[in-house]
């Protein structure tokens, strides 16, 4: 194997040759820092190949090109991030997630909404897939035809770069998707594969007959059993079975081929150099396939992420990587880096487990499963953070482990079935209005679609015209937001939830959307409701102002920094969820009543948890009244600290 200084000299004499000596030195430093990590990951993936050295040389060359073409303002950003590496972990971070067209129209028009985002305290904006998708159905943009062009309906790459700059000047970091597990079958690579070009057929995973697909299928689950059953699609033109985990038109990439890893690295650097600050790497769990397994979360999928992270850090160290891996708790944590890869994989990952447990707690009116399951999750590395959320553009899949359910006396299968019944509104007495997404008859699995407010009971309450039920639903909406804001990490507000938008059935009128009921909770922004946001007598106003107050409380509480340990604690009242945030910055005890009746937590329990003295209520900003118990109103939440 070649000495790594050889790659460095090639880069300096190649892409970096025209740069100032100081800039070259800076690259040398970053190379020395990150190359060992890159090599470790790359050896794990491709170390057996005779052409390994030349691939590494190629990757370093791409990195050097990315470095040389990084615009000045982004070089400054890189320095800024190096000076303040915990910027994304601080308690003033708030994320917002929306579709460009549904929120504002075009990318240029998003800039006109910056002041709206600022009212909510937003510092991170995820614009849903915006690269050029295939024509026709495109899985909400997750079938990309061109990674270097923006969807023409939204604008151009220049518009994207300009928006990124405007957002940054307003303290908002732009996050975009990189769909790295698959391309649209209309992508030029796929088109050339379809034309019979072996070089590009090797970019994908395809077989001449059913022998291998059948063997793989024995252990593969189905992601979209309803509208895209099976994991392979036959194409007559090439007489091949192509691996298609998701829809037929989404072809899985073949990362056993280093050319694919290199292409994506180049795209990562390209997008970073447009000013994208966070890349949401889509469906990363699926990136490596292995016979006899479910082909998810394979060690090599982690190595790919580690390689990208180390290599991209040399060219664009300000860039953060976000893993979209919606998997069970034990599979999830490693995306934030374990062992040798601690702090060296993705900086961010979605806490889908917490999201699921929130909904589970509300349905059950009980916090035992939440508490126990969260306690089983190990701590995350100091340089990483969760993205916490209650709703997103996807369905809710009940990521509850059988072991966790069993430990508190529940049957995992039956509990997941109960949650599906409850949130599809089939369960007698349920407050929720949702829909079943992708019933899988083989496993009995049923996922759920629905907007936050509808799932939390607002739609049914409004229909019933019952003000008490409306009040309870609004409290649930605020409780969910409260807990994602206090848990630790970057809380994500999902567009429309800040105004309690209900389910939107209009997707049924659009033939390219009607098969996919996730559009039920991907509404268009309702700017008439936005106009009501300051009037707390209205529902949008109540929720919007409620969220703003919570954001303000979060901003003034540095103890909620993502580095603070997050621990679920038993409150000795199963109806009250307890969460302890603890670090040298301070200690905060959160108590959340997940039921519609008032609940109490005994003072001696607070004493045992280290909250024995006079207490301050950080939300109300006043001392907590003395008394035997702490009383929480229906769905009430308090954040307590010792009053010093």
Nearest residue to the partner ligand GLC, using Cβ = 142
Among residues 94, 128, 93, 92, the alpha carbon closest in space to that of 110 is found at: 128
**239: its two tokens:** 């007489």
Q: Is 395 in the site for ligand GLC (CB under 6 A)?
A: no
- From 282, 347, 395, 504, active-site residue: 282
**74: its two tokens:** 């982004």
Supply the minimum distance, in Å, between the C-beta of residue 309 and ligand GLC: 20
Using the minimum distance from each CB to ligand GLC, give the nearer residue, 282 or 404.
282
Given the rule CB under 6 A, which of 30-38, 107-115, 136-144, 567-575 is the region that contacts ligand GLC? Answer: 136-144
User: Residue 471 — left, alpha, or beta (φ > 0 → left; ψ -120 to 50 → alpha)?
Assistant: alpha
Using the minimum distance from each CB to ligand GLC, give the nearer residue, 180 or 641.
180
Active site residue 404: no
- Tell me the C-alpha to C-alpha distance, in Å, between residue 558 and each of 84, 366, 490, 586: 15, 29, 13, 8
Given the rule CB under 6 A, which of 64-72, 139-147, 359-367, 529-537 is the region that contacts ligand GLC? Answer: 139-147
Q: Is 294 in the site for ligand GLC (CB under 6 A)?
A: no
Given the rule CB under 6 A, which of 134-142, 255-263, 465-473, 539-547 is the region that contacts ligand GLC? Answer: 134-142
Supply the minimum distance, in Å, between the C-beta of residue 291 and ligand GLC: 22
Among residues 231, 326, 220, 243, the alpha carbon closest in space to that of 280 is found at: 326
Among residues 614, 615, 630, the alpha carbon closest in space to that of 571 is found at: 630
Active site residue 9: no
Q: Where are the alpha helices (DSSP H) in 324-466?
A: 329-332, 352-364, 368-375, 402-407, 412-423, 452-455, 458-464
Q: How many CB atoms lie within 10 A of CB 339?
A: 7
Nearest-5° Cα angle at 582, 592 to 551:
55
Using the minimum distance from each CB to ligand GLC, give the nearer residue, 394 or 515.
394
Q: Is 394 in the site for ligand GLC (CB under 6 A)?
A: yes
Supply the minimum distance, in Å, between the C-beta of residue 488 and ligand GLC: 23
Strands 622-623 and 232-235: unpaired
Supply the minimum distance, in Å, between the C-beta of residue 288 and ligand GLC: 16
Phi, psi (deg, nearest 5) at residue 248: -55, -35
What is the 8-class DSSP label of residue 405?
Answer: H
Question: In the chain, how long is the greatest CA-to-CA distance?
Answer: 77
Q: Is 423 in the site for ligand GLC (CB under 6 A)?
A: no
Q: Is 142 in the site for ligand GLC (CB under 6 A)?
A: yes
- From 324, 421, 498, 504, active-site residue: 324
Q: Is 283 in the site for ligand GLC (CB under 6 A)?
A: yes
Supply the minimum distance, in Å, between the C-beta of residue 148 and ligand GLC: 19
H/E stretch holding 45? helix 21-46
Supply the minimum distance, in Å, between the C-beta of residue 612 and ligand GLC: 45
Q: Is 13 exposed, middle or buried (0-12, 13-18, 19+ CB in 10 A)?
A: exposed
Using the minimum distance from each CB to ligand GLC, give the nearer residue, 124 or 246.
246
Strands 124-127 and 173-178: parallel
Strands 144-150 and 131-133: antiparallel
Q: Is 137 in the site for ligand GLC (CB under 6 A)?
A: no
Site string for ligand GLC, 227-246 (x = CB under 6 A): -------------------x
Calpha distance 497→195 (Å, rounded): 46
Nearest-5° Cα angle at 251, 155 to 346:
70
Calpha distance 17→164 (Å, rounded): 29
Supply the minimum distance, in Å, between the C-beta of residue 336 and ligand GLC: 18
Q: Is 516 in the site for ligand GLC (CB under 6 A)?
A: no
Instruction: Please select the residue that binds ligand GLC; options are 139, 347, 497, 504, rule is CB under 6 A.
Output: 139
Given the rule CB under 6 A, which of 135-143, 381-389, 473-481, 531-539 is the region that contacts ligand GLC? Answer: 135-143
Q: Is 282 in the site for ligand GLC (CB under 6 A)?
A: yes
Instruction: Please select the residue that binds ligand GLC; options are 133, 140, 258, 450, rule is CB under 6 A.
Output: 140
Active site positions, annotated? 282, 324
Question: Contact positions toward ligand GLC, by CB under 6 A?
Answer: 139-140, 142, 179, 246, 282-283, 324, 393-394
């Amino acid at each position: 194997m070649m000495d790594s200084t050889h790659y460095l000299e090639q880069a300096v004499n190649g892409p970096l040759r025209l740069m100032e000596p100081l800039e070259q030195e800076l690259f040398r430093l970053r190379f020395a820092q990150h190359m060992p990590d890159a090599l470790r990951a790359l050896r794990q993936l491709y170390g057996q190949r005779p052409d390994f050295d030349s691939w590494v040389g190629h990757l370093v060359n791409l990195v050097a090109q990315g470095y040389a073409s990084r615009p000045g303002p982004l070089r400054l950003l890189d320095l800024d991030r190096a000076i303040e590496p915990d910027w994304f972990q601080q308690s003033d971070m708030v994320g917002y997630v929306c579709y460009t067209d549904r929120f504002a129209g075009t990318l240029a028009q998003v800039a006109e909404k910056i002041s709206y985002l600022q009212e909510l305290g937003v510092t991170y904006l995820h614009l849903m897939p915006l690269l050029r998708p295939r024509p026709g159905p495109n899985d909400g943009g997750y079938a990309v035809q061109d990674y270097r062009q923006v969807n023409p309906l939204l604008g151009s790459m220049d518009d994207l770069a300009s928006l990124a700059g405007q957002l940054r000047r307003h303290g908002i970091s732009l996050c975009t998707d990189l769909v790295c597990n698959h391309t649209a079958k209309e992508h030029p690579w796929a088109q050339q594969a379809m034309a019979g070009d072996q070089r590009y057929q090797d970019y994908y995973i395809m077989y001449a007959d059913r022998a291998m697909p059948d063997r793989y299928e024995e252990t593969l689950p189905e992601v979209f059993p309803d509208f895209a059953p099976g994991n392979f699609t036959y194409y007559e033109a090439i007489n091949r079975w192509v691996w298609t985990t998701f829809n037929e038109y989404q072809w899985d990439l073949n990362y056993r081929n280093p050319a694919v890893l290199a292409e994506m690295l180049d795209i990562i650097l390209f997008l970073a150099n447009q000013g994208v600050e966070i890349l949401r790497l889509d469906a990363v769990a699926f990136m490596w396939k292995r016979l006899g397994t479910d082909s998810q979360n394979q060690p090599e999928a982690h190595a790919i992420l580690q390689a990208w992270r180390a290599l991209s850090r040399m060219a664009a160290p300000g860039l953060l990587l976000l893993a979209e891996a919606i998997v069970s708790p034990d599979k999830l944590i490693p995306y934030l880096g374990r062992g040798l890869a601690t702090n060296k994989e993705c900086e961010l990952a979605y806490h889908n487990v917490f999201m699921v447990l929130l909904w589970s707690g509300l349905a059950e009116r009980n916090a035992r499963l939440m508490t126990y399951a969260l306690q089983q999750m190990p701590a995350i590395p100091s340089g990483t953070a969760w993205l916490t959320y209650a709703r997103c553009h996807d369905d809710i899949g009940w990521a509850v482990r059988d072991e966790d359910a069993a430990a508190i006396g529940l049957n995992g299968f039956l509990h997941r079935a109960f949650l599906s019944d409850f949130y599809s509104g089939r369960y007698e007495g349920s407050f929720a209005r949702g829909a079943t997404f992708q019933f899988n008859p083989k496993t009995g699995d049923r996922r759920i679609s629905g907007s936050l407010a509808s799932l939390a009971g607002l739609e049914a309450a409004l229909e019933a015209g019952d003000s008490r039920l409306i009040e309870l639903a609004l409290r649930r909406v605020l409780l969910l937001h409260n807990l994602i804001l206090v848990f630790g990490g970057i809380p994500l507000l999902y567009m429309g939830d800040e105004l309690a938008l209900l389910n939107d059935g209009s997707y049924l009128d659009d033939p390219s959307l009607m098969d996919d009921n996730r559009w039920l909770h991907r509404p268009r922004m309702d700017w008439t409701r936005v106009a009501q946001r300051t009037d707390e007598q209205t529902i949008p106003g109540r929720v919007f102002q409620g969220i703003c107050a919570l954001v303000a409380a979060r901003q003034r509480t540095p103890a909620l920094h993502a580095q603070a340990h997050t621990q679920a604690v038993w409150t000795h009242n199963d109806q009250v969820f307890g969460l302890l945030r603890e670090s040298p910055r301070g200690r905060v005890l959160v108590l959340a009543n997940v039921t519609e009746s008032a609940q109490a937590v005994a003072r001696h329990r607070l004493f045992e948890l280290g909250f024995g003295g006079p207490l301050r209520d950080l939300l109300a900003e006043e001392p907590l009244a003395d008394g035997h118990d702490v009383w929480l109103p229906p769905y009430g939440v308090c954040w307590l600290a010792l009053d010093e």
